[in-house]
Amino acid sequence: MATPHINAENGAFAKTVLMPGDPLRARFIAETFLENATLVNNVRGIQGYTGTYKGVPVSVMASGMGMPSIGIYSYELYSFYGVENIIRVGSAGGMQESIKLRDIVIGMGACTNSSFASQYDLPGTFAPIASYKLLRKCVDKADFFGLNYHVGNILSSDTFYNDMDMSRNGESPWHKMGVMAVEMEAAALYMTASRLGKNALAICTISDHILTGEATSSEERQKTFTDMITLALEVAIDL
């Protein structure tokens, strides 16, 4: 069943999909971690693969950048391809002194400056949160592997170059509310999953730090955030 953005056949995706933003990271995950990975989608260069990890079927497909993009792909995977769980594996900018470069942040909630929720015509604000089943398994696995991780609120921003934050010399008001890190997709994923009765979780690696100015390269982001990927895969095969 082709959709406007996915040309895969029925049954092409596993019940759980890992979703990085970058199509090259999707290919890296498939080629490095999955056995017998097959390309099942490549519309607009958004590569999707299905293979097995430790004998369990798992898929990986890119989301592109931003909430409109992940909103499209997650909706179509959940609604038309029988996907039950989407685990975002991405990069984020650290916003707290206690969070270091390459640490893992697990988004229990996702604040946002986006108007994505306005489509639901709610009589108030909506708090996008992760699916507890995925969150609990992720924390248990992170403890088991001894990873440096943090659990809490992240910020899904519609803007990468934020003029208001730049005028504050990089100091964001989200910092004072304890928000761990900023990225651009999780809130839309959480809202889409909530609306459709599905499961979602965002796991991000700190690729740069707003307070310190430290940063990793694009190649590092594509190929070296392997702890996060392994963590997500271990959650995927335990669902």
What's the pLDDT score for residue 33? 97
**166 has pLDDT over 60:** no
- Tokens for 237? 């095969």
Q: How confident is the model at residue 161 (pLDDT cuts 50, 70, 90)?
A: confident
Q: Tell me which of 103, 140, 158, 208 is the catalytic residue.
A: 208
pLDDT, tens only, 48-101: 999 999 999 999 999 999 999 999 999 999 999 999 999 999 999 999 999 999
pLDDT at 169 over 60: no
For 101-149, the pLDDT digits (tens) are 999 999 999 999 999 999 999 999 999 999 999 999 999 999 999 999 9
Q: Which CATH number fits domain 16-236: 3.40.50.1580, 3.40.50.300, 1.10.10.410, 1.10.10.10?
A: 3.40.50.1580
pLDDT at 217: 81
The whole-number pLDDT of residue 164 equals 63
Split at pLDDT 50, 70, 90, the class of 165 is low
CA distance 147 to 150: 10
Return the domain boundaries, the chain: 16-236
Task: Please say if the pLDDT value at position 167 is more than 50.
Answer: no
Told to judge if 121 belongs to the known catalytic residues of this protein, a careful annotator would answer no
